[in-house]
Amino acid sequence: MPPAIGGGLTGSELRPRRGRCAPQAARAVGRDTVRRVAARSLKRPAWSSRSFEAAGRWATLAVVTLLSFATRFHRLDQPAHICWDETHFGKMGSYYINRTFFFDVHPPLGKMLIGLAGYLSGYDGTFLFEKPGDRYEHHSYMGMRGFCAFLGSWLIPFAYLTVLDLSKSFPAALLTAALLTFDTGCLTLSQYILLDPILMFFIMAAMLSMVKYNSCADRPFSAPWWFWLSLTGISLAGALGVKFVGLFIILQVGLNTISDLWQLFGDLSLSLVTVGKHLTARILCLIVLPLVLYVTIFAVHVMVLNKSGPGDGFFSSAFQARLSGNSLHNASIPEYLAYGSVITVKNLRMAIGYLHSHRHLYPEGIGARQQQVTTYLHKDYNNLWIIKKHNTNTDPLDPSFPVEFVRHGDIVRLEHKETTRNLHSHYHEAPLTRKHYQVTGYGINGTGDSNDFWKIEVVNRKYGNRIKVLRSRIRFIHLVTGCVLGSSGKILPRWGWEQLEVTCTPYLKETSNSIWNIEDHINPKLPNISLDVLQPSFSEILLESHMVMIRGNNGLKPKDNEFTSKPWHWPINYQGLRFSGANDTDFRVYLLGNPVVWWLNLVSIVLYLLLGSTIAIAIKRGVQLPAELEGLTRVLLRGGGQLLLGWTLHYFPFFLMGRILYFHHYFPAMLFSSMLTGILWDTLLQLCAWGLASSPVGRRIHAMGIVSLLLATAYSFYLFHPLAYGMVGPLAQEPESPMAGLRWLESWEF
Amino acid sequence: MLRFLERPLVVTADINLNLVALTGLGLLTRLWQLSYPRAVVFDEVYYGQYISFYMKRIFFLDDSGPPFGHMLLALGGYLGGFDGNFLWNQIGAEYSSNVPVWSLRLLPALAGALSVPMAYQIVLELHFSHCTAMGAALLMLIENALLTQSRLMLLESLLIFFNLLAVLSYLKFFNSQTHRYENGRGSSHQQQVTCYPFKDINNWWIVKDPGRHQLVVNNPPRPVRHGDIIQLVHGMTTRLLNTHDVAAALSPHSQEVSCYIDYNISMPAQSLWKLDIVNRESSRDTWKTILSEVRFVHVNTSAVLKLSGAHLPDWGFRQLEVVGEKSRGHHESMVWNVEEHRYGQSQEQEERELELHSPSQVDISRNLSFMARFSELQWKMLTLKNENSEHKYSSTPLEWVTLDTNIAYWLHPRTSAQIHLLGNIVIWASASLATVAYILLFLWYLLRRRRSIWDLPKDAWSHWVLAGALCTGGWAFNYLPFFLMERMLFLYHYLPALTFQILLLPIVLQHISDHLCRSQLQRNVFSALVVAWYSSACHVSNMLRPLTYGDTSLSPGELRALRWKDSWDILIRKY
């Protein structure tokens, strides 16, 4: 008879019958594994040594945690200049400290925490974070980096505990911890002012809490059960609050919860009332609680950022009225549009901006060579237009004329204030949307031709035929061609300063692209009214922020001919990202996974699929597994399955995304992959040990295998650590380079 | 021996008159006045081109999918004796007398007509009653959008026909309890860009050894090998292919590639290219026609000759931009191969030009296997991308379910007779409601079964599940993928999915009558309601008939009265 092997088996034997929760279960496992690892000769542990084993268990956790912290905090201050996306997230942290409003495609929690860390560590928000490579000089940046590294350090203990709980096997957990500690990619990504360590912290926290609460399932409604359940919800809110990638872990917890409830629902020994209680508890902790927290994050966000800043133009006019320093804040402007008014015209679709023109012509070959008309997201004097009657060029502001309001159906001319050219369209194709007509600025001092005439129409006639600022939705119909003024939302090439295309569309379909409102309004002949009544409610702010973020995310399309990272590159560690420096004189940091770890992960996924499907088929076909293997296969299929699901959910959706993708998007999936590797190799080696039990090798193959994997990982880290901690000197292709011989793939750029 | 003669010969015919009647009605509605209008209607302008290509046996590439549908359409043209001579360039253009309109439209119409009895048969095979099956078929019969789409030279009705045929064959022959279901892909048939393999004398380049000045091949010819430094001379203009550190027109990150012109002295010629055979077997492999995949690495700047993929503006005749790519890394668009190859013999430029005009003298047998051609074509179909553009009648998948959009297919040149792709709103709305009702009922039963409450007998439950899996599954597979497509979409893309919803509709009705109506009275009332509802569907169908057949000219007032939704675009002439 083969000897008792491994924690997986014993763990399952120890599966509690009475109520027993995770800490106790883990303690029992700890006892067992410590016995195996540390004192194999001991046949039967004495009951009195229990406290000793518990201490061993805690000591291992402490060592894992300490090692993680040590690697993450080592040389954290290097390099003392902006690396990669620190330029964005550091800047956004500063915005919170300065309380200026900005726009970003991600939800605010991550940047808020960075800002808070900076604030608490004495950073005053004065550093400009202009571009990568700028030196920090006397500015205090270590607080923000330290905070990110602190959260990044927790990934490893979290992964360790998750695997320990899923497999009840010490070696599996240790292997996972080693893979992540010694992965140069995880290390690099945790050492800078980025959203990723914060995001991964919440993802792993949610995963750990979910696993813990699953193992409390036999003691529902107990204190630990509630604790882990609500902690799951809190972590989910955190993950989603940092980046929308958090949706994937929400999906995973959701699927887990549905299958959980399905089991409970099918258990006829439970009354419907009990099932209802279970359902309510989950709705409370996994839906209501995260939602409340998520909304709170946004409430704090808009409360803190109360000053006008670079993000104003992305938002609607009403939204901007709450920002101090914005021209709409506490503003009072004339209520109804009259001839001679100076106005800005804003597109109703979010994140399109203001109708804009400037003294640059469309280049040769792109429509008529006349002045460009675009939309621009930022406030600018070039956004100002004067509304005039189409057929006279007299100054309507002349005091001798009576005030005449603009009404629905009027034929008007829009004169660009700065360049005195008229808004004009004609039968030339628009620069990007070829089926639309080009819109230009034409004429001089208001004198042009009949192609400058536009019919103004009020879409919502709630305020009568006159045009009310901010509230009236209007469209401009070109009189000669019958087309409608709109913005396609496409970004013009460099000749158009990467502003958005304005076209005149012949299709009269009603979309918000072709509807505008009047935002600024100056007319000295009219009395002003206060704009405070127009302030939006919080729910409107929340909705609008999300619309703008989603549009922003979708707008991050790869530019023409840009070499983009493809999802299939990622698991094979095909190409990294330059964090700092490119030349041999620079201090270079290169985000790249430790190839040994990553390729081991890749092999492990394939092996897992093979082994898992073989076992699943065998069980389906009614093969009777020996009792010793049942526990092992359960760990492999259930625990491993959870992790495989996590990897799948965090990886495959990227194949469907149209937005621009980067290598670092793979790291959440990589965490799951590494945990799977830990479980797989532990199980595989135990299976080998079981198969070879009769030979002398069999007895030691498990320990030898694990130890050699640990050593290989550690040695590869020793080789590749300069990627993360920084390299100087010649590039890797030179023989005298510190990285000589390590450029195993031509696509690596170090 | 002759035993069989001892018995009388008996033929027993078992004719289901329902099927006969449905087929007859289907043919009647689909074939009636089929050759009207004698003008190009909407997408016929695209498919017509391909039919002409088949008639003339010109190769083309279309991203809408595999060529079977086009071939079937072309078969109609072949049977009608079409010679392919018609300029397909404008919707509404009158057909010339050599275009056999009737036979070109016949196959889609037959497919549409046969879909009606097939719907009947499918519902029957799903173990529902004759009455229910009749209901499904009659709905298919009067659905205006299906009717319009199958009366024209378009592919959807063929696609729907084969979808239904696949389902029917699956239910009839292969009939197991597993719910594996494969379905015709919801492919779409718009925005074709054709790739003409234009061969042009301006495509010829001469490979020149930089050390020699003659453009004539040595005797014996010296093969070009991997690693050789070469120059490429444009055959018609004798200019050298050149690149330098100047940003390319559309891809500013890359270098401009041009033909070097002698008179610009300020810029030295940088026309040396190193040949890099990608799929070489040895380090001195020779450069073979067609088989060798090569890269050209510029010697001075080590840029690689690459197709950027961007279309040049009009001045570049919309041809594709070629650039020198500085960044390393391997990319398919950097790999080139030699397709035609000949030896130059003349020294004089004029003679050389003459030579290039004549067909190549070396006949190269192209040993591309069928599999190689097949896989290349499949790959091209999947990867061919169109410019993402906008069409007056393009729509989004969300607008389809509620029929918020229509397509004006054709307008009579003088009167206001017009054809629209416009569904029967009663059928669309009730079909969607039926799908929702099915899903809710299914979930309800599923939850109760989990608590060991068995509402339905075992048979009824399995029939209910099978029908739902097939119909909602078919609907979902034919509909949901469109949400992921970043291309131009039209209402007719929804028709295959709609067919599955229509099949489900009478099934849900029968289920309600059989299992949810508790008394005979309730059942009778329900039946009466169903009859009333079907009558209203017929009424709507009849009201929209002028827009389906386009045979009646309505007054502006009548047209305005048909614009039931603001988003419908019905053409009203301004007199």
Residue of B nearest to A493 (CA): B250
Smallest CA–CA distance, residue A503 to chain B, in Å, is: 13
Residue of B nearest to A659 (CA): B486
Smallest CA–CA distance, residue B475 to chain A, in Å, is: 21
Place of tokens 């076209």: A503
Interface test with B, best of A560, A564, A569 (most B CBs within 10 A): A560
Q: Report residue A363 as tokens.
A: 């280049």
pLDDT value at residue A265: 93
Q: Whole-angstrom Cα distance, residue A678 to residue A167?
A: 9
Q: Whole-angstrom Cα distance, residue A144 to residue A191?
A: 10
pLDDT value at residue B237: 64
Q: What whole-number percentage of chain A has pLDDT above 70?
A: 91
Judge residue B2's burial from the number of C-beta atoms within 10 Å of its C-beta, 0-12 exposed, 13-18 middle, 19 or more buried. Answer: exposed
The more confident residue out of B53 and A183 is A183
Residue of A nearest to B311 (CA): A560
Give the dihedral of Cα atoms A604, A606, A607, A610; nearest 10 deg. Answer: 160
With CB atoms and an 8 Å threshold, state whether B254 touches A435: no
Q: Which of A265, A560, A562 sits opposite B450 (nearest CB)?
A: A265
Which residues on B lie below 8 Å from A268 (Cβ)?
451-452
At B157-185, the pLDDT tens digits run 999 999 999 999 988 887 433 333 333 33
With CB atoms and an 8 Å threshold, state whether B450 touches A506: no
Q: Whole-angstrom Cα distance, residue A169 to residue A685?
A: 12
With CB atoms and an 8 Å threshold, state whether A658 touches B486: yes
With CB atoms and an 8 Å threshold, state whether A365 touches B452: no
Smallest CA–CA distance, residue B460 to chain A, in Å, is: 22
At B352-400, the pLDDT tens digits run 555 555 544 334 444 556 666 666 666 666 555 544 555 778 888 888 9
Give CB contacts under 8 A, 24+ apart, made by B368-373. B368/B290
Interface test with A, best of B320, B328, B331, B390 (most A CBs within 10 A): B390
Q: How many residues does chain A have?
A: 750
Residue of B nearest to A511 (CA): B567
Q: Where is average pLDDT lowest: A308-317, A563-572, B303-312?
A: B303-312
Q: Whole-angstrom Cα distance, residue B254 to residue B325?
A: 5
In angstroms, how far is CA A414 from the centroid of its own chain?
A: 42
pLDDT value at residue A445: 81
Sequence letter at residue A740:
A
Q: Whole-angstrom Cα distance, residue B247 to residue B208?
A: 26
Residue B542 has pLDDT above 50, yes or no: yes
Q: Where is average pLDDT lowest: A696-705, B137-146, B529-538?
A: A696-705
Residue A510 has pLDDT above 90, yes or no: no
Smallest CA-to-CA distance from A133 within A86, A77, A193, A192 is with: A86
Which residues on B lie below 8 Å from A272 (Cβ)?
451
At A184-231, the pLDDT tens digits run 999 999 999 999 999 999 999 999 999 999 999 889 999 999 999 999
With CB atoms and an 8 Å threshold, state whether A272 touches B313: no
Sequence letter at residue A245:
V
Instruction: Supply the ipTM of this predicted assembly.
Output: 0.73
Smallest CA–CA distance, residue B452 to chain A, in Å, is: 8
Residue A22 has pLDDT above 70, yes or no: no
Give me the mean pLDDT over the B53-69 stretch.
73
Judge residue B219's burial from the number of C-beta atoms within 10 Å of its C-beta, 0-12 exposed, 13-18 middle, 19 or more buried. Answer: exposed
SS3 string, B73-124, reads HHHHHHHCCCCCCCCCCCCCCECCCCCCHHHHHHHHHHHHHHHHHHHHHHHH
CB pairs under 8 A between A and B: 46
Q: Whole-angstrom Cα distance, residue B328 to residue A654?
A: 25
Interface test with A, best of B451, B491, B563, B570 (most A CBs within 10 A): B451
Share in percent of chain A as helix, strand, coil (round to 5): 50, 15, 35
Interface test with B, best of A279, A484, A509, A565 (most B CBs within 10 A): A509
Smallest CA–CA distance, residue A44 to chain B, in Å, is: 45
With CB atoms and an 8 Å threshold, state whether B250 touches A561: yes
Residue A34 has pLDDT above 50, yes or no: no
Q: Report residue A565 as tokens.
A: 């990272």
In angstroms, how far is CA B124 from the centroid of its own chain?
A: 31
Residue A439 has pLDDT above 90, yes or no: yes
Residue A354's DSSP bridge partners are A346, A376
Query: Which SS3 state, helix, strand or coil, does residue A571 take?
Result: coil
pLDDT value at residue B354: 57
Residue B128 pLDDT grade (very low, low, confident, very high; cuts 50, 70, 90): very high
pLDDT value at residue A511: 74
A238-275 burial, b at 16+ Cβ within 10 Å, e below that, comes to bbbbbbbbbebbbebbeebbeebeeebbeeeebeeeeb
Smallest CA–CA distance, residue B98 to chain A, in Å, is: 33
Q: Whole-angstrom Cα distance, residue A159 to residue A169?
A: 13
Q: Report residue A402 as tokens.
A: 């009576």
SS3 string, A194-213, reads CCHHHHHHHHHHHHHHHHHH
pLDDT value at residue B69: 79
With CB atoms and an 8 Å threshold, state whether A507 touches B329: no
Q: Which of A272, A435, A658 sits opposite B390 (nearest CB)?
A: A435
Among A381-390, A401-410, A446-455, A674-683, the range of highest mean pLDDT: A674-683
SS3 string, A705-727, reads HHHHHHHHHHHHHHHHHHHHHCE
pLDDT value at residue B194: 29
Q: Where is average pLDDT lowest: A27-31, A562-566, B8-12, B338-342?
A: A27-31
Q: Which of B314, B323, B390 sits opposite A365 (nearest CB)?
A: B314
Q: Report residue A113 as tokens.
A: 């925490």
pLDDT value at residue B483: 87
A interface with B, Cβ–Cβ < 8 A, is: 262, 265-266, 268, 272, 365-366, 433-436, 494, 506-507, 509, 560-563, 575, 656, 658, 746-747
Q: What whole-number percentage of chain B has pLDDT above 90?
A: 33
Q: What is the DSSP letter of A320?
A: H
Interface test with B, best of A561, A563, A747 (most B CBs within 10 A): A561
Q: Are A34 and A170 in contact (CB under 8 A)?
A: yes
Share in percent of chain B as helix, strand, coil (round to 5): 45, 10, 45
B interface with A, Cβ–Cβ < 8 A, is: 250-254, 308-310, 313-315, 323, 327-329, 389-392, 447, 450-452, 484, 486, 567
Q: Are A322 and A391 in contact (CB under 8 A)?
A: no
In angstroms, how far is CA B390 from the centroid of its own chain?
A: 17
Residue B323 pLDDT grade (very low, low, confident, very high; cuts 50, 70, 90): low
Which residues on B lie below 8 Å from A265 (Cβ)?
447, 450-451
Smallest CA–CA distance, residue B392 to chain A, in Å, is: 6
Interface test with A, best of B394, B450, B453, B484 (most A CBs within 10 A): B450
What CA–CA distances, in Å, run from A553 to A107, A244, A433, B431?
A: 11, 10, 21, 35
Residues in contact with A483: Cβ distance below 8 Å, sequence separation at least 6, in sequence order: A425, A436, A437, A477, A504, A505, A506
What CA–CA distances, in Å, run from A44 to A3, A12, A32, A35, A627?
A: 13, 18, 10, 9, 21
Residues in contact with A707: Cβ distance below 8 Å, sequence separation at least 6, in sequence order: none
Q: Is the preceding omega at residue A157 within 30 degrees of 0, hence cis? A: no
With CB atoms and an 8 Å threshold, state whether A506 touches B392: yes
Q: Are A242 and A647 in contact (CB under 8 A)?
A: no
The more confident residue out of A350 and B186 is A350
